[in-house]
Amino acid sequence: MVDAVEEKYRHLEATIKEHMPSTDLERIRAAFEFARKAHGTQLRKDGNEFVTHPLAAAEIIVEIGMDVDSVCAALLHDCIEDTEATIDDIEKQFGKDVAAIVDGVTKLTRVTYTSAEDEQMDNLRKLLFAMAQDIRVILIKLADRLHNLRTLEYVNPVQQREKALETMEIYAPIAHRLGMQKMKWELEDLSIHFLDPVACDDITEGLKLRHGEDEAFLETVKTKLTERLNENGISAQVTGRVKHLYSIYRKMYGQNKTLAEVMDLHAFRIIVDDIADCYNVLGLIHELYRPIPGFFKDYIGTPKPNRYQSLHTNVIGSEGIPFEVQIRTWEMHQTAEYGIAAHWKYKEGKGEKEADEEKFAWVRKLLESQQDSDAQEFMQSLKVDMFSDEVFVFTPRGDVVNLPAGSTPIDFAYSIHSEVGNRMTGAMVNGRMVPYSHTLDNGDIVKVLTSKAAKGPSRDWLEIIKSPEARSKIRQWFKKEKREENVIHGKLSFESELRHANVPIADAMQEDILKKVLARTSFGSTDEMYAAIGYGGISAQKVVNRVREELRAAEKNKQAEDPAQEVVTRAATRKKAPQGVIVEGLDNCLVKFARCCSPIPGDSLVGFITRGFGVSVHRKDCPNYIKAVSQDEDSEKGRWVSVSWADTGTSLYATTIDVHVHDRTGLVVDVASVFNTMSIRMTSFNARPISTGGTLITIAVELKNRDELVTAMAKIMNVQGVTDVRRTEG
């Protein structure tokens, strides 16, 4: 009696004979036996032998028309991750190509990650890198994911949602980017069932209720189209269908419509022999039905980046029901259904390898633009670069440039060349000047204005661009050209993030903690780390997370060495922190420094008793105090009290200064360098143009006393371009 697994293998062989009649079945049988032995008694969640999963993945690979190495790799794809088998074992028996594909699909299971995002990022990076070397890697990964979704009902609800969401965000869009529409649709339809089962059930039930009506409409239109094509001597295949589940779901819940309100539920496909017939058919359809303005797309003249080609038009029939028609040749149809697999470079030998390299050169381009990004940014950029809708614009010479939807002239400039972006001084769209933030639309003609005297990109550009390619090139410019400025910006961002995370700066800067953080983030010095934060190579949040982890680890080690240490630490935190000031006639009262004047040791003080909030301490030259005294209100007199400085020790105090400048290149760095050389900590640094001309820089600092501040202000006045320096008032 044939067991269930053997029966599934025989079904795979039958599929191979149908799609790949001249295939070496002995080699595929050997791969199956290897996988079955390696997985042994392992079971799937549905109770079947684990090897049934690679068998199903291999069958999907056969159906999309891949080669023998791909089928073998699909059968072996889980061996390295889930069994004792090694890459060397696979290479010895099945060759380098199969081993490389299996390695590319295998996750990085032996690495410890600090977050799920880091793990997902590294797995995807490895997958994309292997994909850039051999596109078969991602095809097997897609087959693996598709079968996992088909059997996802046996997994717990939390994992169901995680896998379904990851598929919608990563794998379905990859299938789209590879032009594999058939697989994309199934991945989306399966995923949405687990993400929103109630809505999917409603749609399914609604479609069942109107099934007869839909079938009648599809048959009527199909007959009418076929008759008209036959009358004009055009040989064609005409098919009609109701759009797939996720497409309907997006229209209903993205546009807040009921199923009855979704009008364009129906789509027709006409496949002809050559390109000329495509356009002939388009004319005949527009004679039969009224075209809807703005809904015609010529993807034959302007193919999508994934090589998709078809004519799309939306029309309205005599019943008043709109529908879509796609017109393509048989070759275009193969590309639309199977994408990159339809042009498989190994299918007919290695001769076409070079010609097909450009078909997935975007993978290498994507990897290059993501070299320095952290996990969160990598995932975000990946979704934008690989998975976003596209916008097609033109250069003044008529060349087509493909960009992510929402792109700006800056994205366009950097897509042409780094130097075009770096020297950009303005942009014209369709013959008129536009701001840098202008959103480009399909068909726009974009001209970039450049100058050799341009100052280079602005950090503000990073907030408005859409393409990771432009983001990467701008960061590279700042990394190379603005190191000192990057260090300053990075230091400020790092310290600001520490305060946001309630991590004392002194704790973070301990030599042993900092040394471990630098090692974990692969920087040789704090300046290197600050520079990377400054130009965007790593986020301040990620570095601070590393600091917190090291501080927690250090605290655990101390407690392990001395259990009494925890008691001492808790006792120390109960001690009242010194306020630094003495309030005449009041003991143990709450004291806070007024933000309007930010007093520091050395300033003459006065206190104001607030209702319920203790004593607010002001400088005696504070405009608010002077105004209050000049008004001489009796009700307020008794609330002003004498305040003096106590022994402030090494405590730091916050204050703010305003620096008026005539802007010039490098001025910000020169001003900030004054504080750096004096080891004065800056907590914020903001610059804005003012109506009277010039720029106002507002700097918040933490320092010991007034003498230190006066010295710093005097040095700043000596900086070229500075016209005035004063304490912030009000």
| Contact residues for 639 (Cβ-Cβ < 8 A; gap 6+) | 608, 609
Please give the structure tokens belonging to residue 49.
């032998």
Q: Which residues of 91-106 are buried (b: 16+ CB within 10 A; e: fewer)?
A: bebbeebbbbbbbbbb
Residue 401: strand pairing partners: 393
According to DSSP, residue 49 is labeled: B
CA angle 31, 36, 41 (to 5 degrees): 165
3-state helix, strand, coil in the chain (%, to 5): 55, 15, 30
Starting at the earlier edge strand, list the strands of the sheet with 605-609.
Answer: 581-583, 640-645, 605-609, 615-619, 591-593
C-alpha 368/C-alpha 351 separation (Å) is 27
Identified catalytic residue from 82, 298, 702, 729: 82
The residues, any chain, with a CB within 8 Å of residue 570's CB and separated by 6 or more, are none
**Catalytic site residue 82?**
yes
Which residue is associated with the tokens 């990057």? 486
Question: Distance between CA 320 and CA 62 in Å, rounded?
Answer: 43
DSSP 704: S
Alpha-carbon distance of 599 to 298, in angstroms, equals: 68
Using an 8 Å Cβ cutoff, are 224 and 284 in contact? no
**Three-class SS state of 675:** helix
Containing H/E element for 608?
A: strand 605-609
CA separation for the pair 528, 219 (Å, rounded)? 68
Which position among 6, 18, 33, 81 bears the catalytic label? 81
Residue 669: both structure tokens together: 């760095």
3-state secondary structure at position 322: strand
Alpha-helical runs (H) found in 64-108: 68-76, 79-82, 87-94, 96-105
* Burial class (CB within 10 angstroms; exposed 0-12, middle 13-18, buried 19+) of 263: middle
- Return the structure tokens found at 180: 């594999």
Confirm whether 81 is a catalytic residue.
yes
- CB count within 10 Å of CB 126 equals 17
Q: Which of 597, 620, 603 is nearest to 705 (CA)?
A: 603
The CA angle 440-446-452, to the nearest 5 degrees, is: 120
- Rounded Cα distance between 632 and 499, Å, is 40
| Burial class (CB within 10 angstroms; exposed 0-12, middle 13-18, buried 19+) of 367 | middle
Dihedral sign (CA 175, 177, 182, 188): positive
**Which alpha helices (DSSP H) does 501-617 contain, by range?**
505-508, 511-520, 526-535, 540-561, 564-574
DSSP line for 201-229: HHHHHHHHHTHHHHHHHHHHHHHHHHHHH
The partner residues of 404 in beta bridges, in order of sequence, read 390
Inter-residue contact 300 to 272 (CB < 8 Å): no
Amino acid at 100: A
Burial class (CB in 10 A: 0-12, 13-18, 19+), 517: buried
Residue 139 and residue 64 in contact, taking contact as beta carbons nearer than 8 Å: yes
Distance CA 400, CA 100 (A): 36
Best CA proximity match to 25, nearest among 35, 13, 9: 13
Q: φ and ψ at 422, to 5 degrees?
A: -65, -30
Kindly list the catalytic residues: 81-82
